[in-house]
Amino acid sequence: MILELLFYPGVIIHELTHFIACVLLGVKVTKIKFGLKEAYVQHLDVNNWKTIIIALTPFILSNVIALTIIYFTLKIKPAFYVFGLVLWLALTIIYHSVPSRKDVDNVDKKIIGIYKNISSKNVLLLVPLFILNTVIFIPLKIFTFILIIFNKYPLLKIILIIAVFQISFLFL
């Protein structure tokens, strides 16, 4: 329970990034919950691509937010306690940037939906579908598989935290 409270700001940012994606894509949000045991953003079911973007936004946007926080904290060099507090905030954001299992399942379902939709329309679409499969679907499936592994093993999230911190040092 204490660990959940310590990392709770990352949960809030994770859900807010889903919300931001919904707003930017024009998707109606029906419910938001920021609970300790359960947090989510419910939205209307939309086309496949929008759902994929909404599901994966926390990974991209949360890490950009954390990188920005780290970068400016290192640039302005605040007092030690502020420095520690801000870096802790960045750490919680990175830790919870990995999409949840539900997010990954949504991506997988929508990839299959796109694939079935294209392949059922016309035999001539099979060639572009093959290219789309090679360039987008297979890398996306590999990416979501990696995210599942990151969710299962928290040690990998620590490696992600270290990587994001290292990247932020490159910009100094």
121 found inside a domain: yes
Tell me the average pLDDT of the chain: 86
**128: pLDDT strictly greater than 80:** no
CB 59 within 8 A of CB 98: yes
Residue 58 lies in a domain: yes
Distances from the Cα of 83 to the Cα of 66, 91, 92, 164, angstroms = 14, 12, 14, 17
Number of domains forming the structure of the chain: 1
Alpha-carbon distance of 167 to 172, in angstroms, equals: 10
Q: Is 80's pLDDT higher than 70?
A: yes
Coil, strand or helix at 28: coil
| Reported confidence tier of residue 28, pLDDT bands at 50, 70, 90 | very high
Residue 77 within a domain: yes
pLDDT confidence of residue 85: 92
Other beta carbons less than 10 A from residue 89's beta carbon: 18
Is residue 31 in some structural domain? no
User: Higher model confidence: residue 133 or residue 34?
Assistant: 34
Locate the DSSP E strands across the chain. 29-34, 39-43
Does residue 57 form part of some domain?
yes
Residue 155 structural domain: 48-170
pLDDT at site 125: 67
How deeply is 20 buried, as exposed, middle or buried, from its count of CB atoms within 10 A (0-12, 13-18, 19+)? Answer: middle
Amino acid at 116: K
Residue 169 has pLDDT above 80, yes or no: no
pLDDT at 1 over 70: no
Percentage with pLDDT > 70 across the chain: 93
Burial class from Cβ neighbours inside 10 Å (0-12, 13-18, 19+) for residue 76 reads exposed
Residue 10 lies in a domain: no
Q: Report residue 124's pLDDT band, with 50, 70 and 90 as the boundaries.
A: low
Range with lowest mean pLDDT among 49-63, 101-115, 125-139: 125-139
Q: What is the pLDDT of residue 63?
A: 93
* Cα Rg of the chain (Å, integer): 18
Provide the whole-model pTM: 0.83
